[in-house]
Structure 1
Amino acid sequence: MKLMTRQAVDPEGRMPLMDHLRELRNRMIKAILALLVGTIIGWIFFGPVWDFLKEPYCALDASKDLNGKCSLVVNGIFSSFFLRLKIAFILGLVVSSPVWLFQLWAFVAPGLYRKERRWTYVFMGAAIPLFFVGTALAYVTVDKGLSIFLGFVPDDVAALITVDHYLGYVLAMLLVFGLTFELPLFVVILNLAGVLSSQRIRRSQRMIIFGIFVFSAVATPSADPFTMLALALPTVLLFEVAALLAFLNDRRRANRPDPYEGLADDEASPLDLERIDAELDEAELGKDEKTSR
């Protein structure tokens, strides 16, 4: 009855500000509850997750104490508690990501047209795998960067590295690698949107590659040569793939017939009736979907 009343008042399905705020509140509550459940799961499975995170460090000889055991130290009474809470929250954020991503999408999607939704699907379908590939590469290279600096520790000296310091280093590596792998995707999106042409990418290619190496040297926490190359070389490869996709897209656009070619200045331009009908149908479909909600 409430839905029919709203449709009768506003046939285009627009919602008042208070209704938008209520919907935002309900979706935030669902997302927070999902995050809370995920955090509880992360708290329960803290042991295996922590063993997985500290494995690159424990694989190094410099991580062993005087008794030959892998050890990290805490320098406060509550450090171990906050360590467990932080890892549980991060794991909960990952576990509950399908729920809060869906809630975010469900709140934004009614305001998008069908074409805009399709572009969002393509972007998310490429962004999520690229991010996880970047984090996987970061996990593999964590021990390489640590081994370079911990290799200076004398044999009769134990390296006392705090848990907070090590966890911050690992998380920074995962985020830097994961987010950097998204940069070539933005190049493709900007080209598809008509903002960045392949010709401009080709003219700036050397500067972009140089900038990638500089960014890799500055952004990586350890700033060692191996970690820098491990981040820069795959990013350059992904950028080349993005430049190729931009070139193919621009060539496809150039092969389209120009409806205004050969027209005199005082001659009326032809109307693309099929395109106009398609846009009108899409607009009507968007209105019907908003009204049904």
Structure 2
Amino acid sequence: MALGEHLKEARNRLFIGAIAVFVGTVAGFFIYEPVLEELSRPIQDLNAREGRSAALNFDGVASPFDLMIQVSVFLGIVLSSPVWLYQLWAFITPSLKTKERRVAVSFIAVAVPLFFSGIFLAWLILPNAVRVLTDFTPGGFSNIITVTVFITFLLRLMLAFGIAFLLPVVLVGLNLVGVVSGRQILKGWRITIFMVCLFAAMAAPGADAMSMFYLAAPMLLLFFIAIGLCLLNDKRRARKNKAQQEHLESTADQASVIDGV
């Protein structure tokens, strides 16, 4: 494609993804209240189980409306993830052949559950993270938390987990369509471990090492599984190319014999 065609395709795919997110956001408005109640549950549990004094508060007249927009957009991104993930993948690998289209469908079938798994893992560690962070409150003091700051923190964390779980799938997908080889990925395993741990340290909440471990461990496991799959696919592709080369050489030899006769 020419540069103009690439830009046009990017615009079209961004438009489709934006429409999907908008539709998901509209749906998010209808489930906003039960979702907000679940997101605020870690604070409620602190008061109920540990006798803490913690409360979520709005700091402005328009803050409830702003929060509703933020949560609804987050829900829109999550609900529309099959659409925008496919659009992203289709843009990375344009002009897909029939076999590569099957790869694209497989990519979505794996990527969407992993994206949700990352969000779910973040949700699992949140109560512990909130408890650890509020443990630093001195005795006799209360935690008066701004709800917009707290909920925004939770949403960003869950998105970070979800996107982190997508990266190994992207590597496998790029390998399947021949963009990157397994050996190229394997050569950077040291920097991969460092970057994963750095990302986990920045994204995971809490001062305890366990929050970082909860994110880094599954990410590293997924990365090395992805590398293994890429190496296996490289071997399969090499055998196929060798067989095709031998077939072409055999055909050429036969043609030479016929021409000689």
Cα deviation, residue 120, structure 1: 1.6
CA distance in 2, matches of 1:214, 1:180: 12
CA distance in 2, matches of 1:173, 1:55: 16
- Identify the match of residue 196 of structure 1 among 158, 171, 180: 180
Could you tell me which runs of 5 or more consecutive residues in structure 2 were left unpaired when the two chains were aligned. 255-261
| Number of the residue aligned with 1:10 | none
- Identify the match of residue 229 of structure 1 among 213, 216, 232: 213
Using structure 1 for the length normalisation, give the TM-score.
0.67
| Number of the residue aligned with 1:133 | 117
CA distance in 1, matches of 2:247, 2:96: 37
CA distance in 2, matches of 1:102, 1:262: 39
* Contact kept? 2:182, 2:234, Cα under 8 Å: yes
Percent of aligned positions that are identical: 36
Cα deviation, residue 125, structure 1: 1.2
Tell whether 2:222 aligns with 1:238.
yes
Show the 5 A alignment for 1:102-141: 112-141=96-125
Matched residue type, 1:60: L
**Where is the helix percentage greater, Structure 1 or Structure 2?**
2
- Identify the match of residue 247 of structure 1 among 197, 221, 231: 231
Show the 5 A alignment for 1:17-32: 32=19
CA distance in 2, matches of 1:221, 1:253: 42
* Contact kept? 2:118, 2:158, Cα under 8 Å: yes
Q: Indicate how the Cα distance of structure 1 residues 255 and 223 shifts in structure 2: closer, same or farther if over 3 A, else same.
A: farther
Computing the radius of gyration from Cα coordinates, the structure with the larger value is 1
* Contact kept? 1:62, 1:159, Cα under 8 Å: no
Q: Indicate how the Cα distance of structure 1 residues 96 and 268 shifts in structure 2: closer, same or farther if over 3 A, else same.
A: closer
Cα deviation, residue 259, structure 1: 4.2
Q: Deviation per CA, 1:25-73, whole angstroms, max 9, x where unpaired?
A: xx969974x766654543343321111111123222599898x5x5201
* Contact kept? 1:169, 1:221, Cα under 8 Å: no
CA distance in 2, matches of 1:169, 1:89: 14
Could you tell me which runs of 5 or more consecutive residues in structure 1 were left unpaired when the two chains were aligned. 1-16, 272-293
Using structure 2 for the length normalisation, give the TM-score.
0.74
* Contact kept? 2:43, 2:130, Cα under 8 Å: yes
Tell whether 2:150 aligns with 1:166.
yes
Q: Indicate how the Cα distance of structure 1 residues 135 and 270 shifts in structure 2: closer, same or farther if over 3 A, else same.
A: farther
- Identify the match of residue 199 of structure 2 among 199, 215, 228: 215
Corresponding pairs, count: 243
- Identify the match of residue 181 of structure 1 among 161, 165, 180: 165
Q: Indicate how the Cα distance of structure 1 residues 103 and 60 shifts in structure 2: closer, same or farther if over 3 A, else same.
A: same
- Identify the match of residue 54 of structure 1 among 40, 54, 61: 40
CA distance in 2, matches of 1:104, 1:252: 28
* Contact kept? 2:26, 2:76, Cα under 8 Å: yes
Cα deviation, residue 185, structure 1: 1.1
CA distance in 1, matches of 2:142, 2:226: 46
| Structure with more relative contact order (C-alpha pairs < 8 Å, separation 6 or more) | 1
Q: Indicate how the Cα distance of structure 1 residues 138 and 270 shifts in structure 2: closer, same or farther if over 3 A, else same.
A: farther
Show the 5 A alignment for 1:66-145: 71-95=55-79, 112-145=96-129
| Number of the residue aligned with 2:259 | none
Cα deviation, residue 146, structure 1: 2.0
Question: Secondary structure, in 3 states, of the residue corresponding to 1:155?
Answer: coil
Question: Secondary structure, in 3 states, of the residue corresponding to 1:72?
Answer: strand
Q: Indicate how the Cα distance of structure 1 residues 88 and 118 shifts in structure 2: closer, same or farther if over 3 A, else same.
A: same
Question: Secondary structure, in 3 states, of the residue corresponding to 2:57?
Answer: coil
Matched residue type, 1:193: V
* Contact kept? 2:103, 2:176, Cα under 8 Å: no
Matched residue type, 2:44: C
Cα deviation, residue 240, structure 1: 1.6
Matched residue type, 1:229: F
